[in-house]
Amino acid sequence: MAHTWDPGHYLTYAGERGRPFVELLQRVDADAPATVVDLGCGPGNLTALLAQRWPGARVTGLDSSPEMVEAARAAEPGLAFAVADLRDWVAGDAPPVDVLLSNATLQWVPGHLDLLPALAGRVAPGGWLAFQVPGNVDEPSHTIRTGLAAEERFAAHTAGVAVPSSHDPATYLEALAGLGCTVDAWETTYLHVLTGEDPVFTWVTGTGARPTLQALPDGLREEFAAEFRRRLAAAYPTRPYGVVLPFRRIFVVAQVPGGVDR
């Protein structure tokens, strides 16, 4: 079952979600790129930062979700957005771009490590490939979902649903350095202090847990959500100042040399 995205839900805690994008962008040392592509642009609020950083560039946001692209076009009418699957775009024959940035998207592409040569190949010589992926799959926010989805009452519906996955920074560094790129790779664990009712549940059901919930039929979905909510609340207790969500992120910025096999 293909899942859909809810831009409004996704934008809950937009500040916390956007911070890694800003920190990734700061490490891209491109002076005056002519073409910039945001691969997996979501609702477009962060794509606008690319246009601010490089006002002379032609900035394009691409996303496989029609809902996200519709929201992006409404929010940022001065920018270009299109519906496109990442894998189809990589396999296409459009001219190379000067900056290719992908924020919190590659984790949804199975086998995305094998796509890195093709992604680098879509960047012009001397250009930049930058991406950020979550690295928190071992945290309760993910392991609770995995365990609950595997229970007998849910397993028949949740087997095979999309779940995010990623690699350590060293793995990405080795893969891109092997292509001749100059690579800067690092990780950061944010301690997001969230407020509101069941904030971790709100966070994960806007992203990583969304496909699981959509795969469940009415009745079971509500049963799953209630138990998921209860277990998350126990794992992430409310403190006087809010709920702390540790969130590990993996960052990679690579400059592509002229010698990369295109």
Domain residues for 94? 7-255
The pLDDT of 14-28, averaged and rounded, is 87
Q: Is residue 79 part of a domain?
A: yes
Q: Is residue 261 part of a domain?
A: no
What is the chain's alpha carbon radius of gyration, rounded to the nearest angstrom? 19
Q: Is residue 63 part of a domain?
A: yes
**Spatial distance between the Cα atoms of 69 and 62, rounded to a whole number of angstroms:** 8
Confidence check: pLDDT of 208 > 80: no
Q: Is residue 75 part of a domain?
A: yes
Residue 232, token pair as written in the block: 């998350």
pTM for the complete prediction? 0.90
Q: Is residue 185 part of a domain?
A: yes
- Looking up residue 145, the CATH number of its domain turns out to be 3.40.50.150
- The overall average pLDDT reported for the chain is 91
Confidence check: pLDDT of 13 > 70: no
Q: Is residue 260 part of a domain?
A: no
Residue 163 binned pLDDT confidence (cut-offs 50, 70, 90): confident
**Spatial distance between the Cα atoms of 1 and 159, rounded to a whole number of angstroms:** 11
Extended beta strands in the chain, E state? 35-39, 58-63, 80-83, 97-103, 123-134, 182-194, 238-239, 242-255
pLDDT (tens digit per residue) in 74-107: 999 999 999 999 999 999 988 999 999 999 999 9
**Spatial distance between the Cα atoms of 213 and 216, rounded to a whole number of angstroms:** 6
Class of residue 36 by CB neighbours under 10 A (exposed 0-12, middle 13-18, buried 19+): buried
Q: What is the pLDDT of residue 14?
A: 59
Q: What is the pLDDT of residue 258?
A: 79
Q: Is residue 2 part of a domain?
A: no
Q: Is residue 149 part of a domain?
A: yes
pLDDT (tens digit per residue) in 27-78: 999 999 999 999 999 889 899 999 999 999 999 999 998 998 999 999 999 9
Confidence check: pLDDT of 132 > 70: yes
- Provide the number of structural domains found in the chain: 1
Q: Kindly state the percentage of the chain with pLDDT values over 70.
A: 93
Q: What is the pLDDT of residue 2?
A: 52
